[in-house]
Amino acid sequence: MIEISMPRLSDSMEEGTILRWLAADGAEVKRGDELAEIETDKASMVYEADEQGALHILAQEGETLAVGAPIAQLLAAGEQPGAASSAAPVPAAETKSAATPEAAAQGRTPARQAASAPEAPAREAAAAPSAASAGANAGTGTRVKASPLARRLAAGAGIELASLAGSGPRGRVVKADVERAVAGGLTGAAPTPSAPTAEAPTAAAPLAPATAAPKGEVEVVELTRTQSLIARRMAEAKATIPEFTLQSEIDMEAAVAFRGQLKALAERQERPVPSFNDMIVKACALALREHPRANGSYKDGRFELHPRVNVGVAVAAADALLVPVVRDADTRSLWEIAAESRRLALAARDGTITPPELAGGTFSVSNLGMFGIDAFTAVINPPQAAILAVGSLAQRAVVRDGQLVARHTMMVTLTCDHRILYGADAAEFLGAIREALQQPLALMG
């Protein structure tokens, strides 16, 4: 028997969600066959079999499990399924298989979470008796085996888990069992408040609806894995990075004329036309090569200077912000950057981008100019040293040689980690970006 564990599909991945199984339970699979589609903290990926055998599914669709937790087994001919091992000190079927958002916020790993499990039932029973009864087997007091998703769905529908027959491994209640119960009308009444006591006067009860009325009925939206990662990393950045910002208005008149020439050339050669954002990425890459600290990271009281210049480009995907990485942007031509940027942006928007394409960035560019935003301040993507926020490119009134003229200009804002980039260093770096865009022939290097 070969046990299949939740794989680590990216450096930052801590847990994954089984979106769907691509092979049926009991099916014979061989090395390289697609087994499951797994949602990580960055993207959805297809996981392939490393060995061959009969597939025995342990984790159901919709379940979220920690990296290393068993999700399936591959059985040899005539072999029977075995008990799944678990990295936690208690059986996997009787503990939450992945860290909850509350545990993640407190920095608890799944193992630590399991270690504190004996205290949890007492706290839950004291705080919410109805929730405790939903997770216990009526008459015996033992905990019903159920996936975390099934527990949430059952609690929301007012269904007692003890009333359901689990179809999962070893009788575990899974999402499908709860959905069948809801479809069949097996829903319990909402928990009723306890009888009023002397300590809780009945006059206070009618006030609850009145206090909730001004906001109306609240809709609770669960974060996706990507949204959870964004929230955690942005909070980490604002809490740990001493940042400062620099702004500069760049004269883009020469860049506009230069792009017109590139457009005519691209049409003749049937190439993608480099956008202004592609030109900004190239300008940043050349400046990063000249200023290694801007291409570095501050970590554990030391500077880490990265030999490769990998520029991340922020892309607005469905309900998420992804940052695909253009690798070795300093050595790529403007044409290559244009083609790669388009490919990555399309993959990010249609959900086919892979974790490696989102990893390894040493600097980031965020452009909101297409939305009519003149200037803004972006949040650093740790552990990078800086990020460039790009505003709209438009004709504006400026003074040139004592005359008021209309020229294409663009405002950029550089947010820096003051632990590795100091004011003068950052100013020189931003100046190098400005110079490359104002003399765009340099972008062809």
Backbone torsions φ then ψ of 178, nearest 5 degrees:
-65, -40
Q: Which residues are catalytic?
A: 418
Class of domain 2-94: mainly beta
Give the 3-state secondary structure of residue 254. Answer: helix
Is cis: bond before 70, omega within 30 of 0? no
Q: Which two tokens stand for residue 285?
A: 């890459």
Do residues 69 and 5 make contact, with C-beta atoms less than 8 angstroms apart?
A: yes
Do residues 115 and 93 make contact, with C-beta atoms less than 8 angstroms apart?
A: no
pLDDT reported for residue 62: 83
pLDDT reported for residue 327: 96
Label residue 68 exposed, middle or buried (CB < 10 Å: 0-12, 13-18, 19+): middle
pLDDT reported for residue 170: 60
pLDDT reported for residue 82: 74
Ramachandran sector of residue 288 (left: φ over 0; alpha: ψ -120 to 50; beta: rest): alpha
Give the integer Cα–Cα distance in Å for 142 and 171.
14
- Enter the DSSP assignment of 272: P
Regarding pTM above 0.75, the answer is: no
Do residues 225 and 40 make contact, with C-beta atoms less than 8 angstroms apart?
A: yes
Give the integer Cα–Cα distance in Å for 412 and 377.
9
Ranges of each domain in the chain = 2-94, 116-188, 242-444
Residue 400 CA from chain centroid, whole number = 46
DSSP class per residue in 123-190:
HHHHH-HHHHHHTB-TTT-PBPPB-HHHHHHHHHHT--GGGS---SGGG-B-HHHHHHHHHTT--PPP
* Protein fold of 242-444: Chloramphenicol Acetyltransferase (3.30.559)
Do residues 388 and 284 make contact, with C-beta atoms less than 8 angstroms apart?
A: yes
- Print the SS3 string covering 319-361: CEEECCEECCCCCCCHHHHHHHHHHHHHHHHHCCCCHHHHCCC
Q: Which two tokens stand for residue 319?
A: 């309900």
pLDDT along the chain (445 residues), means of 10: 84 80 90 86 78 90 87 86 56 37 40 38 38 41 65 79 76 78 64 43 47 74 82 90 97 95 88 93 97 95 95 88 94 95 92 88 96 96 96 94 94 97 97 96 87
Give the integer Cα–Cα distance in Å for 326 and 199.
64
Architecture of domain 116-188: Irregular (4.10)
Alpha helices in 158-275 (DSSP H): 175-183, 207-212, 225-240, 253-269
